[in-house]
Structure 1
Amino acid sequence: MSFRDVLQPGAGRIRAAQYLPATPETVFWGRLPCASDVGVLTIDAGTEVTIDTISHEGVLEDQGRNPAVFFGGHGVDRADVLDDAVVLAASDFSRNPRVDGPHVVTGPIHVRGVRPGDLLKMTLVEAVPRVPYGIISNRHGKGALPGEYPLGSDNVSIFATVDAADGSEREPAGTLVGTLPLLPGGQRVVRFPLHPFLGIMGVAVAGEQRAHSVPPGAHGGNIDINLLTVGSSLYLPVQVPGALAYVGDPHFAQGDGEVALTAMEASLRVTVRFDVIAAADAIANFGALAGPLAETAEFLVPTGLDEHLDEAMRECVRAAIALLGARYGMEPTLAYAYLSAATDFNISQVVDLVTGVHARIRVADFEGAGLARDRTEASS
């Protein structure tokens, strides 16, 4: 990816007929939509929307709130800095950095006909890097090792670049990799695969209090599950009419845990399809979901969220047992045994006040078992 590939607002390929740019009028910064907010776009269920997202890295106050200057300090020409990020940072957008989160989210999107009790299914159809660089940050009091890192007195923002794969078995042609130097300013680099995804996918919370953008919850939000790459879906219990969905916190790459505080953060142009599962069908297929459920071609991915990692793990196990019972009719003790024998539980992140754990249940393991609903219908 070269600097010629920068996707400025409205420029370049826009996949869907519906396009939502990121402007001061179409984003939230540090807070998430609630029931009293109004959609900036209204769509029917089944619609694909191409959405521009802005990474918070480079626009924050402790980085100067001037992305042209901030990225210029890393050798990026002004023409290669996103115009919408510059406009947002220079605007009078009301945000209190002492009490609000850092994330910029685009939306909300009102989905016609969706009601509380339904599930909103958000499928990532496409995720295209808007720039060929990103930032990995560590701030004092944050991350997995607060008080130990950063090593100095200042916050740290590591500049990472995007490179084309070398065509080897490890780096197949046509893919992208990230690079970091082994030493500050050094020429030797470490190369790692990029898997773009959205750290934030969510629905509005009930009531008139906007949720903070950092801790995830039943509304989704900042769940940071790196399995949610192109082709994957997130199911969220709808809390308000129209769902009022939003996306943000774009990542180019993230390891499970996201230990330094952020991963490789950089702006994406994404296309998301918004589908609705009616309440009765949702119960039949997934049971009573209390929080986010992800799905990939290979896995069902129930989640657990809590301030304490041990409790997040327990919540995830409970959610997985309930899911196997609702979807396949599996007896709880047997489901518990299966999860122990065959399912990986991964730490989503440990840096967002509320920690996250997600399970990877292989769908292929249940081929031939049939859905619980099908067996009930067959016996009636």
Structure 2
Amino acid sequence: MPPRIPAPEGHFHLPTTAKTARWGTLPGPSAGPVLIVGDQETVTVDTVSHEGILEDQGRDPVRFFGAHGVAERDVLTDARDIAASALERDPGTDGPHVVTGPIAVTGAYPGDLLKVETLSLYRRADYGIVSSRHGRGALPDSFPGPERETAGPAATRRLPSGTVSTFCEVQVDGKGRSLGVIPYGTAGRAARFPLRPFMGIMGVTPAAEQPLSTVPPGRHGGNLDVKVLATGTALYLPVQVEGAGFYTGDPHYAQGNGEVALTALEAPLRATFRLTVLKGAAARRAVGLIDTPFGESDTHWVAIGLHEDLDEAMREAVRAALMFLTTRVGMDAASAYAYLSAAADLEVSQVVDRVQGVHCLIRKSDIGELPSEIPLQKGEFMNPAATTPACHDTAGAP
């Protein structure tokens, strides 16, 4: 039986339907908004996972999940409707993700920042899927491997096109903690791990005229798969089109850094966001001269590096961290570089999305209170790709 979840908490409630979603591509500049919200308003989105509805899984979630012992009544109606819809998706070129949006935010223009605060995330099901597919993942030449046998209802099934999908039940232990459970071997043995839900895809509409696949992340955000960006965090995104065009998808119940098999524990979430437009000095007070996706939690700032090459993604994360420390915190470049080496943690976000990700965690407690004035000094570190302020006031003040 699906878990009980609170009523929608946002000013607006956006279900995922064939009219509010795209499947496999991101919205472009010509895409009309499915919802318009005001600055700082909140929206609750009922997101749909792609796992269990894809073509290589039969595009029939009732049958697919039923083979794992899920009753028909416990298969979400919106997942069934999306699978049966006429939404266009080219499996050869498009991504797998169901993306809800775009949501236009009044007053957002290119050059601004959109601050996306994740206020709450609630599970919509008591099960999810981890999938591995031929030619993808960290070890594409080795996995998926031979189908393994399990005692009782099979947890792992080999599907057409070289897909192996591992069913993962959610259990609540005696301390009230939600755990993912992956059975293995015999005699009821299983790996049990804590859940930490987050949205894999959060982004703004890219300026590119041609529809982009949902798979690679970029300056627009998108499929970042940064597991730190859970409830209580914020993601800052550079606005590229009027209205920002926020969208979300790829809900996760849990993910290890790297996401090595190809997917995380994929399963549907009810997500509530606050969308705030930051202009000019307000944007610079938040992130300095950062002009790429940047995260924040109660305890850390999160600089994000993206590149097809993992080594270069690491360098991009360091560059972003240096940009923040020099243009917002006020550190000189040499001190900032030394600090990052001594105290910051760089973690691999994911290695499976064509464009790979590394995020740098900067502890707020190490830095203390930020200066009230924005410290831009001659000779400080500057990213050659962003030598002018990325954000501006509506009136055009620098």
TM-score by length of 1: 0.92
Shift of residue 370 of structure 1?
2.9
- 2:67 aligned partner, one-letter code: G
Q: Distance in 1 between matches of 2:80 and 2:174?
A: 33
Instruction: Please list, as runs of the form range in 1=range in 2, the aligned pairs for 1:2-81 lying within 5 A after superposition.
Output: 3-5=1-3, 13-81=7-75
Calculate the aligned-residue CA RMSD, in Å: 1.6
Q: Distance in 2 between matches of 1:300 and 1:366?
A: 10
Cα pair 1:22 1:52 within 8 Å, conserved: yes
Q: Distance in 2 between matches of 1:154 and 1:101?
A: 17
Residue segments in structure 2 that go unaligned for 5+ positions in a row: 147-160, 378-398
Q: Specify the alignment match of 1:170 in structure 2.
A: none
Cα pair 1:328 1:369 within 8 Å, conserved: yes
Residue segments in structure 1 that go unaligned for 5+ positions in a row: 168-172
Q: Specify the alignment match of 2:104 in structure 1.
A: 110
Instruction: Please list, as runs of the form range in 1=range in 2, the aligned pairs for 1:225-244 lying within 5 A after superposition.
Output: 225-244=226-245
Q: Distance in 1 between matches of 2:41 and 2:311?
A: 39
Instruction: Please list, as runs of the form range in 1=range in 2, the aligned pairs for 1:194-209 lying within 5 A after superposition.
Output: 194-209=195-210
Q: Specify the alignment match of 1:191 in structure 2.
A: 192
Q: Specify the alignment match of 2:173 in structure 1.
A: 165
Q: Distance in 2 between matches of 1:329 and 1:229?
A: 28
Q: Specify the alignment match of 2:258 in structure 1.
A: 257
Q: Distance in 2 between matches of 1:54 and 1:28?
A: 11
Shift of residue 147 of structure 1?
1.0
Shift of residue 126 of structure 1?
0.6
Shift of residue 154 of structure 1?
3.1
Shift of residue 287 of structure 1?
2.6
Instruction: Please list, as runs of the form range in 1=range in 2, the aligned pairs for 1:337-356 lying within 5 A after superposition.
Output: 337-356=338-357
DSSP 3-state at the match of 1:280: helix
Cα pair 1:131 1:267 within 8 Å, conserved: yes
Shift of residue 34 of structure 1?
1.2
Shift of residue 371 of structure 1?
4.7
Instruction: Please list, as runs of the form range in 1=range in 2, the aligned pairs for 1:313-332 lying within 5 A after superposition.
Output: 313-332=314-333
Cα pair 1:329 1:372 within 8 Å, conserved: no
Shift of residue 188 of structure 1?
1.4
Q: Specify the alignment match of 1:179 in structure 2.
A: 181
Q: Distance in 1 between matches of 2:370 and 2:354?
A: 39
Residues 100-135 of structure 1: CA deviation (Å, up to 9, x unaligned):
100001111000011101100111111001000000
Percent of aligned pairs with the same residue?
50
- 1:176 aligned partner, one-letter code: S
Closer/same/farther in 2, CA of residues 43 and 177 from structure 1, 3 Å limit:
same
Cα pair 1:284 1:326 within 8 Å, conserved: no
Residues 174-231 of structure 1: CA deviation (Å, up to 9, x unaligned):
x311111122x75111110000000000000114212110000000000000001100
Closer/same/farther in 2, CA of residues 284 and 5 from structure 1, 3 Å limit:
closer
- 1:5 aligned partner, one-letter code: P
